Amino acid sequence: MPTSRTTSSMHARLAAVRRGVIGVLHRGERFLVIRRAAGVAKGGRWCFPGGHLEPEETSKVALRREFREELSIEIDPVRRLGSIRVAESRHVLAVWCVEHVAGDIRPAPAEVAAVRWMKPDELRGVAEGLPSNAVVLAMMGH
């Protein structure tokens, strides 16, 4: 039976978890990836678009907001693929397949340095890619 001290440490670990989202948008064999701007966390790294959940925000709402803020497009989250626990981090990221609903991609320079459509092998070969990219590709069956 857990002691109050054990229970307190479990609650502290759970409270420390930061929730986030990743949106997977694809056209044919290519996936939309972004190079994070220099001024943001993990700047210069290639990854799938996404970000942190704001308080009281659902994953779907956060995805719509993040794609709007980062890329100026409207998306629809259509299928949740699962979650990723980021190694050596307190982040847990919900991974969703999304569909492009409206708008032309216009990256927000403060957050996104570049945008590319990459095939799975191209993304795996990018030296500046985040480790989570391989996990997301595996979730997609690649």
DSSP 8-state symbol, 90 = S
Taking only the tens place, the pLDDT of each residue in 44-71 is 999 999 999 999 999 999 999 999 999 9
Q: Give the pLDDT score at 39.
A: 85
Q: Which domains can be identified in the chain, with CATH numbers?
A: 18-139 (3.90.79.10)
Q: Give the pLDDT score at 15.
A: 53
Section 106-126 average pLDDT: 96
Query: What is the pTM assigned to this prediction?
Result: 0.85
121, pLDDT greater than 90 = yes
